[in-house]
Structure 1
Amino acid sequence: MSENHEYSGSISDRSRLSLQSECENCFGLCCAALPFAASVDFAIDKDAGQPCLNLQSDFRCGVHKNLRQLGFRGCTVYDCFGAGQKVSQDTFGGHNWRQAPESAKQMFEVFPIMRQLHELLWYLTEALTLQPARTIHGALSTLLDETERLTHLSPDSLMELDVAAHRADVNALLLRTSELVRAQQKDRPGRKKTQGRGADLIGANLRGADLRGANLRGAYLIAADLRSADLRLADLIGADFRDADIRGANLTDSIFLTQAQLNAAKGNADTKLPPSLTRPAHWSNIGA
């Protein structure tokens, strides 16, 4: 593990485990609460609050092994950061919306709020592992504790929460974290220049590019060619990796990368990943 990711392993690893989806402890909330429209990612239209036709009585997906083949690729790239089990087992005490239909509407509305809070917990937990940002670890810890506290609010209080305002506070600190981590790479000779935050890099040819320390926050990397690119220390928070080709790319020390982003991309066995993330199963079907 590099010097940029030194941390108290047991604490961080435990925190990250609680931010991973446990579908067996969730009442199929992403399959019922969220809407989607017929597109390249979804084979059908579904309204918010309408259970997916593939959702079984035990809250499992009836076509889970064949989602991509059946046109439900969007389901395979979604990640709730553990919000599903939190809402199901903690916020609503294990009472599912089928047994208590009167709670369904509120449960479905609380779920996306909790998902945002859990996403913030993921980023804050990672920020605390980054040694170049140790001067602000105290502030990061305070915001982490506050965000965790918010996840334990009652359903009514969660629905009244100004998530956007809290997210803005967290983002300001995450941005400062990013600046501190990437400072050592700033203006380094030979580094590929990009347009920075929110860059439109759809379909861009970045094969073999040296993107160490690049600011790619919110960048549109849809279908970009990033084969063998070096993305160490690059800030990838919110970057759109749909169909981005990252075969052979080095993302080992990239910051704020999520499992959902990897799931949306095309990688292979040669793609180097951060230790906290896993290689998507569908990558095995993608050639070299």
Structure 2
Amino acid sequence: MKPPTPSSTANFPVQGALRPDCPQCFALCCTAFGFARSADFAIDKPPATPCPNLAADFSCTIHDRLRPRGFPGCTVFDCFGAGQAVSQRLFGGISWRDNPDSAAGMFTAFKVLRQLHEMLWLLGQAAARAYGPDTAGDAYSLAAAVRKVADSGLEDLLAADVESLHRQVGETLRVVSEEVRAGYFSAAYGDAGSSSLHPRIRLEPGADLAGADLRGLVLCGADLRGACLIGADVRGADLTATDLLGADLRDARLDGADLAGALFLTPPQVGAARGSGSTRLPEGLARPGHWAASVPEDAPTGPRKRLDRRDC
């Protein structure tokens, strides 16, 4: 299969079209989802109910103080543009307050469409990073199928087999990941995924790396999808071609880290981490406003140890 021509991919979603436009949304992220009191949220809130901090005009009354008030989870959420699409396209700009009967359908549609838009975000990365034309073509074709569902009417959207699309997208991302990472000597991690760092540290999908010291390491080609990196120290590390699909980066220290070539990184992951002006991010990902502007004095300036046996 030849890679799609520009004319055949004119409707392929770019990341700019998958960004939230909060003024055009009826605060669906503040209503549709529930959350439990935790380090991310200061209170309990059941789903399908408005947050007590929600104003009459759908703005947040503590938007500029969310973190100090105990709501860091709100600051990292990203709907990938689903909020405005549901509010304006599917419900004609009529809010759930003006038409309470629409609330249940609106909230359900938001949850479904957000999943579809996140798939499109990831497929966009897959198509851009795929080495082979067949793989890139598969990503484009699948994105077109997902986009068709995402652009459908309310009834068809709610009846969509999202789980099937999830599986197909997951398989495509896996193929692209293997294709990209094949250029790196990940075999040095060992058959069981162990590394030379410490026998208890394993670089593998779903790895428990919470609080791990990965400072200055070259992690090129590692498969860390679904890994727990909560509070990990990744300062100065090189994560080129590292698969971070679904990895938990909450409070991970990324000062001086190179994530410009990381695979399948999303805005919520970046927002949950701790970085600075020295952190390199993939094109299209903005530096979170709560990140430090400069490099902390104790941040490493470059890789100190390689986990592979040849240069990345």
**TM-score (norm: length of structure 2):** 0.85
Structure 2 unaligned regions, length at least 5: 196-201, 297-312
Return the alpha-carbon distance in structure 2 between the equivalents of residues 12 and 221 of structure 1: 35
> Is contact 1:202–1:221 with CA below 8 Å preserved after alignment?
yes
1:135 aligns with 2:143: no
Return the alpha-carbon distance in structure 2 between the equivalents of residues 111 and 190 of structure 1: 41
> Is contact 1:267–1:286 with CA below 8 Å preserved after alignment?
no
Return the alpha-carbon distance in structure 2 between the equivalents of residues 138 and 13 of structure 1: 12
Other-structure match for 1:218: 226
> Is contact 1:27–1:88 with CA below 8 Å preserved after alignment?
yes
Return the alpha-carbon distance in structure 1 between the equivalents of residues 173 and 139 of structure 2: 8
Return the alpha-carbon distance in structure 2 between the equivalents of residues 237 and 154 of structure 1: 29
1:265 aligns with 2:264: no
Q: Displacement, 1:92? A: 1.5
> What percentage of residue pairs aligned between the two structures are identical?
44
Structure with higher Rg: it is 2
Return the alpha-carbon distance in structure 2 between the equivalents of residues 95 and 142 of structure 1: 34
Report which of the two has the higher share of helix: 1
**What's the CA shift string for 1:138-174, capped at 9, x where partnerless?**
2111110110010122223222222112100111011
Q: How does 1:245-264 map to 2 (within 5 A)?
A: 245-264=253-272
> Is contact 1:232–1:254 with CA below 8 Å preserved after alignment?
yes
Return the alpha-carbon distance in structure 1 between the equivalents of residues 64 and 132 of structure 2: 41
Other-structure match for 1:237: 245
Return the alpha-carbon distance in structure 2 between the equivalents of residues 167 and 131 of structure 1: 19
Query: 1:219 is matched by which residue type in structure 2?
Result: A
Query: 2:168 is matched by which residue type in structure 1?
Result: D
Moved more, 131-140 or 259-268: 131-140
Q: Displacement, 1:188? A: 6.8
Query: 2:148 is matched by which residue type in structure 1?
Result: R
Q: Cα–Cα, structure 1 residues 142 and 62, in superposed 2: closer, same or farther, change >3 Å?
A: same
**What's the CA shift string for 1:15-37, capped at 9, x where partnerless?**
21110111111110000110011
Q: How does 1:116-265 map to 2 (within 5 A)?
A: 116-187=115-186, 193=195, 194-265=202-273
Q: How does 1:91-106 map to 2 (within 5 A)?
A: 91-106=90-105
Structure 1 unaligned regions, length at least 5: 1-6
Q: Displacement, 1:284? A: 2.4
Query: 2:259 is matched by which residue type in structure 1?
Result: L
Q: Displacement, 1:209? A: 1.2
Return the alpha-carbon distance in structure 2 between the equivalents of residues 256 and 12 of structure 1: 21
Other-structure match for 2:68: 69
Q: Displacement, 1:128? A: 1.2
Q: Cα–Cα, structure 1 residues 220 and 286, in superposed 2: closer, same or farther, change >3 Å?
A: farther
**What's the CA shift string for 1:223-253, capped at 9, x where partnerless?**
1110111101111110000011111100011
**TM-score (norm: length of structure 1):** 0.92
Moved more, 91-100 or 129-138: 129-138
Q: Displacement, 1:52? A: 0.5
Q: Please give the secondary structure, in 1, of the residue aligned with 2:259.
A: coil
Q: Please give the secondary structure, in 1, of the residue aligned with 2:177.
A: helix
Q: Displacement, 1:47? A: 0.7
Q: Displacement, 1:110? A: 1.3
> Is contact 1:91–1:152 with CA below 8 Å preserved after alignment?
no
